[in-house]
Amino acid sequence: MTYDFSALSYADFEDLSRDLIGRDLGVRFEAFAPGPDGGMDGRHAAGTSKMVLQSKHYAGTRWSGLKKAMKKERASIDRLAPDRYLLTTSCPLSPKNKTELAGIIGPSLKSEADIFGPGDLNALLRRYPEIVKSHIKLWLSGAAVLERVLHAASHSFNDITKDEIAEKVRVYAPNPSFNAAQDILEKQHVLIISGPPGVGKTTLAEMLCYAHLGEGWELKAIRRLDDGLTTLTDKNKQIFYFDDFLGRVALDKIALSKMDSDLARFITRVRKSPNARFILTTRAPIFEEAKRHSEHLADRQLDISRYLLDVGVYTRRIRARILYNHLLVTGTPQAHINALIDSGKIAAIVDHKNYSPRLIALMTEGARVADYNAKDYPVYFLAALDNPTQLWDIPFRKHIPRTCQHLLMTLFFSSEFGVPIERLRTAYDSYHRVLSGHYGASQDPKDFEESLKILEGGFIKIIGDTVGFVNPSVRDYLLTYLDDYTLLTLAAKASVQSLWAQKVWEHGKRLARARTQPMSADRAVFARAFLPISREFLTLPVWAQIGGGIYAASCLSNVERLELMIDWWYASGDDSFLPMITTLANKPVDGWDLWRDGENLLILAGKLRDPDYFNELPQADDLADILEEGVIKMIASRQPNSEELDKLSDAYEEWKPYLGTAIWDVVALEIRREFEELDEVLRDMNSESTVDEHIEILEKLGKRTCIPDELIKRAGDKAVERKFEIESESVEASSPSVRSGDMQIFDVFDDTALRILFEPLRRP
Calpha distance 203→205 (Å, rounded): 5
The 10s digit of each residue's pLDDT in 419-478 is 999 999 999 999 999 999 999 999 999 999 999 999 987 889 888 889 999 878 888 899
> Are the beta carbons of 391 and 198 closer than 8 angstroms?
no
Average pLDDT, the chain: 85
Q: For position 734, what pLDDT does the model report?
A: 43
> Are the beta carbons of 274 and 687 closer than 8 angstroms?
no
The DSSP bridge pattern shows strands 419-420 and 460-463 to be unpaired
Q: For position 451, what pLDDT does the model report?
A: 95
Choose between 746 and 187: higher pLDDT.
Answer: 187
When pLDDT is averaged across residues 4-24 and rounded to a whole number, the result is: 90
Q: For position 714, what pLDDT does the model report?
A: 93
Choose between 142 and 103: higher pLDDT.
Answer: 103
Residues in contact with 326: Cβ distance below 8 Å, sequence separation at least 6, in sequence order = 171, 332, 360, 361, 364
Q: Which segment of 159-173, 606-620, 635-649 scores lowest on mean pLDDT?
A: 159-173
Q: For position 739, what pLDDT does the model report?
A: 47
Q: For position 743, what pLDDT does the model report?
A: 41
> Are the beta carbons of 368 and 362 closer than 8 angstroms?
yes
Can you tell me whether residue 585 is helix, strand or coil?
Answer: helix
User: In the predicted model, is pLDDT for residue 41 greater than 60?
Assistant: yes
CATH number of 10-131: 3.40.1350
Q: Which segment of 102-106, 236-240, 515-519 scores lowest on mean pLDDT?
A: 515-519
Which amino acid does the sequence have at 630?
G
* pLDDT category of residue 290 using cuts at 50, 70 and 90: low
Q: For position 736, what pLDDT does the model report?
A: 45
Q: For position 673, what pLDDT does the model report?
A: 93
Q: For position 745, what pLDDT does the model report?
A: 39
Calpha distance 351→450 (Å, rounded): 41
Q: For position 173, what pLDDT does the model report?
A: 83
Q: For position 607, what pLDDT does the model report?
A: 94
Calpha distance 302→350 (Å, rounded): 38
The 10s digit of each residue's pLDDT in 676-698 is 999 999 988 877 878 888 899 99
Q: Which of 80, 81, 29, 78 has the alpha carbon at shortest distance from 55?
A: 29
Q: Which of 666, 521, 538 has the alpha carbon at shortest distance from 590?
A: 538
The sign one gets for the Cα dihedral 740, 744, 749, 755 is negative
Q: Which of 726, 694, 733, 729 has the alpha carbon at shortest distance from 712?
A: 694
Calpha distance 419→479 (Å, rounded): 18
DSSP E strands in 305-405: the ranges are 308-310
Which phi and psi (to 5°) does residue 471 adopt?
A: -155, 140
User: Which H or E run contains 17?
Assistant: helix 10-25
SS3 annotation, 196-263? CCCCCHHHHHHHHHHHHHHCCCEEEECCCHHHHHHHCCCCCCEEEEECCCCCCCCCCHHHHHHHHHHH
Q: Where are the alpha helices (DSSP H) in 106-200?
A: 118-127, 129-134, 136-141, 143-153, 162-171, 176-188
Calpha distance 647→600 (Å, rounded): 9
- Cα separation values, 447 from 396, 403, 408, 426, Å: 17, 6, 13, 13
Domain boundaries, the chain: 10-131, 138-310, 316-388
What is the longest distance spanned by two Cα atoms in the chain? Answer: 98
Q: For position 748, what pLDDT does the model report?
A: 66
> Are the beta carbons of 274 and 233 closer than 8 angstroms?
no
> Are the beta carbons of 568 and 525 closer than 8 angstroms?
no
Calpha distance 655→559 (Å, rounded): 17
Q: Per the confidence metrics, is the pTM higher than 0.85? A: no
Residues in contact with 731: Cβ distance below 8 Å, sequence separation at least 6, in sequence order = 235, 236, 237, 275
> Are the beta carbons of 348 and 389 closer than 8 angstroms?
no
* pLDDT category of residue 710 using cuts at 50, 70 and 90: very high
Q: For position 153, what pLDDT does the model report?
A: 59
Calpha distance 454→458 (Å, rounded): 8
Residues 30, 36, 39, 43, Cα dihedral to 10°:
0
DSSP E strands in 315-424: the ranges are 419-420
pLDDT cut 70: percent of the chain above it: 86
Instruction: Choose from 246-260, 349-363, 546-560 the range with maximum mean pLDDT.
Output: 349-363
* pLDDT category of residue 382 using cuts at 50, 70 and 90: very high
> Are the beta carbons of 193 and 204 closer than 8 angstroms?
yes
CATH number of 138-310: 3.40.50
> Are the beta carbons of 537 and 521 closer than 8 angstroms?
no
Choose between 696 and 174: higher pLDDT.
Answer: 696
> Are the beta carbons of 585 and 627 closer than 8 angstroms?
yes
When pLDDT is averaged across residues 561-580 and rounded to a whole number, the result is: 95
The CA-to-CA distance between both ends of the chain, in Å, stands at: 35
The 10s digit of each residue's pLDDT in 180-214 is 899 999 999 999 898 776 778 888 998 998 888 88
Choose between 166 and 303: higher pLDDT.
Answer: 166
Choose between 291 and 382: higher pLDDT.
Answer: 382
Calpha distance 474→72 (Å, rounded): 47
> Are the beta carbons of 27 and 74 closer than 8 angstroms?
no
The DSSP bridge pattern shows strands 190-195 and 308-310 to be parallel
> Are the beta carbons of 539 and 589 closer than 8 angstroms?
yes
> Are the beta carbons of 615 and 609 closer than 8 angstroms?
no
Q: For position 639, what pLDDT does the model report?
A: 86
Q: For position 296, what pLDDT does the model report?
A: 58
Cβ count within 10 A of residue 398:
7
